């Protein structure tokens, strides 16, 4: 039996001023001492206490641009740091030398707090998949040639592929779209591990903490205690989670905060707690209005980006093609009569998994595409 612990490294490029709770992020990283973090930044870190598992690579944004052009091609567009979000899936290629020797690589954000990561990533769980997590805040990929280059694979859907994402200076959210998940499902035998209810990804629509993937959409708080992170609901449940993501919301810090034991509320980090905390905590009207305005701006920017990137046109074309393809397939099956019935059992067994069902749909779409041009 192999008891060797997999080597993991998360790549975190960051250009610009860190958030006011960056030291808390560093502290939560340091507790996960068996996982390495590669922090690529142009900022001076002398004022921070860096844990041993943080490896700093000093780099200017211009040098990062040059690396992207050298590794991926001069056609790639990147004019400002936020565009790096689209390049997260390509970190395995962009930082191939730095990641040499690791079994897994990945990426994460800094507007989050980590709990005990290894508690959720057993060796059995890692062996059962090649990708863990979804979205842009935390993803792990197996450090293989396939894992490093899977972002280059294409799938006919309304999402942008890497060529479309990297050929525009606009942020396309390539790292967060369902497109990347679909590509993985279609091209890998092992299932995609989504970390469904083991994370705290807070909803941007509400001021209160309400987890995106929680079963019940109730008000929540988070507590960090001696390297463990807990999600606590107003109905009384407590669940340990891997991390909590604040989605760039403003978070204040009380001066006497104990970095090993504190609470996270919707507008900051606090040390005190009351039994009726959910009833006692009430945000001010100014806080609510400021957050609502910020959310409106986020939504507005999201749809503006989709319009600029041709998202609607791609989705309409894809939906039309898929509908036509299904109609043609059903019509053909109706003419087959008995032949269709005789192959039903074989088809059910062959396409019983989600991956195989997707393959079936994918090939129908491909067959139709070769015959029809819109």
Contact 215, 197 (CB under 8 A): yes
Specify if 292 maps to a domain.
no
Give the model's pLDDT for residue 295. Answer: 65
Residues 319-373: tens digit of each pLDDT: 666 666 566 666 555 555 544 444 444 333 333 333 333 322 232 223 222 322 2
Whether 119 shows a pLDDT value over 80: the answer reads yes
> Of 195, 220, 250, at which residue does a domain stop?
195
Whether 304 is in a domain gets the answer no
* Residue 102's pLDDT band (cuts 50, 70, 90): very high
The model's pTM: 0.76
Strands (E), the chain: 8-14, 35-41, 54-58, 104-108, 112-114, 131-132, 138-142, 200-201, 220-225, 228-233, 238-240, 243-245, 252-253, 261-265, 268-270
pLDDT for residue 209: 82
The answer to whether position 305 is within a domain reads no
Q: What is the mean pLDDT of the chain?
A: 79
Same domain? 110 vs 207: no
**Looking at the chain, how many residues does it have?**
374
User: Of the residues 178, 195, 212, which one is the last residue of a structural domain?
Assistant: 195
Residue 131's Cβ-count burial label (10 Å; 0-12, 13-18, 19+) is buried
List alpha helices for 139-196, DSSP H: 145-149, 162-166, 178-187
Q: Is residue 300 part of a domain?
A: no
Tokens representing 146 are 């396939």
Q: Does residue 93 share a domain with residue 184? A: yes
> What is the DSSP code (8-state) at residue 169?
S
Burial group, residue 284, by CB count within 10 angstroms (0-12, 13-18, 19+): exposed
Domain membership of residue 32 as a residue range = 8-195
* 167 and 253 fall within a common domain: no
- Are 113 and 12 in a shared domain? yes
Place 71 in a pLDDT band, splitting at 50, 70 and 90: very high
User: Residue 229: its pLDDT value, please?
Assistant: 96
pLDDT of residue 311: 59
3-state secondary structure of 340: helix
Phi, psi at residue 98, to the nearest 5°? -65, -25
Give percent of the chain above pLDDT 90.
43
Does some domain include residue 302?
no
Q: Are residues 154 and 204 in the same domain?
A: no
User: Higher-confidence residue: 155 or 262?
Assistant: 262
Do 329 and 206 lie in one domain? The reply is no
Rounded CA-CA distance 108/12 in Å is 6
CATH of the domain at 39: 3.90.550
CB count in 10 Å sphere of residue 70: 11
**Residue 33 pLDDT exceeds 50:** yes
User: Does 74 share its domain with 182?
Assistant: yes
pLDDT the model gives residue 352:
37
Domain count, the chain: 3
Is 3 among the domain residues? no
pLDDT of residue 278: 55
Residue 282: per-residue pLDDT: 63
Name which residue leads in pLDDT, 290 or 226. 226
User: Considering the domain boundaries, does residue 128 fall inside one?
Assistant: yes
Burial class (CB in 10 A: 0-12, 13-18, 19+), 274: exposed
Lowest mean pLDDT among 128-132, 204-208, 306-310: 306-310
Query: How confident is residue 181, by pLDDT bands cut at 50, 70 and 90?
Result: confident
Based on the domain organization, do 319 and 267 belong to the same domain?
no
Residues 255 and 340 in one domain: no
Q: Which pLDDT belongs to residue 368?
A: 24
Please indicate, yes or no, if residue 303 is contained in any of the structural domains. no
Same domain, 354 and 259: no
Range scoring the smallest mean pLDDT among 53-62, 235-244, 276-285: 276-285
Is 210 found in the same domain as 189? no
Q: Do 191 and 215 fall into the same domain?
A: no
Q: What separation in angstroms does the CA of 226 have from each of 93, 199, 233, 324, 372?
A: 35, 18, 20, 57, 60
End position of a domain, from candidates 176, 195, 214: 195
Reported as a single tens digit per residue, the pLDDT across 192-202 is 787 877 888 88
pLDDT score of 210: 77
Residue-level pLDDT at 293: 74
**Residue 163 vs residue 13, higher pLDDT:** 13
The dihedral sign for the CA sequence 221, 223, 229, 235: negative
Give the residue, 261 or 363, on which the prediction is more confident: 261
């Amino acid at each position: 039996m192999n008891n060797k612990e997999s080597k993991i490294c998360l790549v975190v490029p960051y250009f610009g001023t860190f958030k006011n709770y960056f030291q808390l992020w560093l502290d939560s990283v340091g507790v996960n001492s068996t996982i390495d973090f590669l922090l690529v930044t142009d900022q001076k870190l002398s004022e921070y206490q860096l844990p041993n598992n943080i490896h700093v690579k000093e780099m200017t944004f211009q040098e990062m641009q040059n690396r992207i052009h050298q590794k991926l091609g001069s056609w790639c567009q990147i004019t400002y740091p936020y565009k790096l979000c689209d390049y997260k899936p390509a970190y395995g290629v962009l930082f191939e030398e730095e990641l040499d020797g690791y079994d897994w690589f990945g990426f994460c954000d800094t507007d989050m707090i980590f709990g005990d990561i290894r508690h959720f990533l057993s060796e059995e769980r890692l062996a059962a998949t090649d990708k863990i997590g979804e979205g842009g805040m935390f993803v792990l990929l197996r450090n293989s040639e396939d894992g490093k280059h899977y972002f280059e694979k294409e799938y006919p859907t309304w999402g942008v592929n890497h060529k479309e994402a990297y050929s525009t200076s606009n942020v396309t959210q390539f790292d967060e779209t369902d497109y990347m998940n679909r590509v993985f499902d279609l091209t890998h035998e092992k299932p995609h591990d989504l970390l469904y209810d083991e994370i705290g990804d807070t909803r941007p629509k509400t001021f209160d903490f309400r987890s995106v993937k929680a079963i019940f959409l109730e008000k929540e708080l988070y507590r960090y205690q001696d390297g463990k992170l807990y999600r606590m609901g107003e109905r009384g449940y407590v669940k340990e989670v891997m991390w909590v993501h604040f989605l760039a919301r403003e978070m204040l810090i009380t001066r006497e905060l104990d970095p090993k034991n504190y609470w996270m509320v919707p507008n900051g980090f606090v040390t005190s707690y009351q039994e009726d905390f959910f009833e006692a905590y009430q945000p001010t009207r100014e806080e609510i209005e400021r957050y609502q305005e910020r959310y409106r701006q986020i939504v507005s920017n999201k749809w503006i980006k989709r319009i600029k990137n041709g998202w609607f046109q791609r989705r309409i074309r894809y939906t039309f093609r898929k509908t036509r393809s299904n109609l043609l397939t059903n019509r053909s099956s109706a003419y087959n009569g008995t032949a269709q019935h005789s192959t039903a059992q074989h088809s059910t067994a062959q396409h019983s998994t989600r991956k195989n069902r997707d393959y079936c749909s994918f090939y129908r779409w491909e067959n139709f595409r070769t015959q029809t041009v819109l």
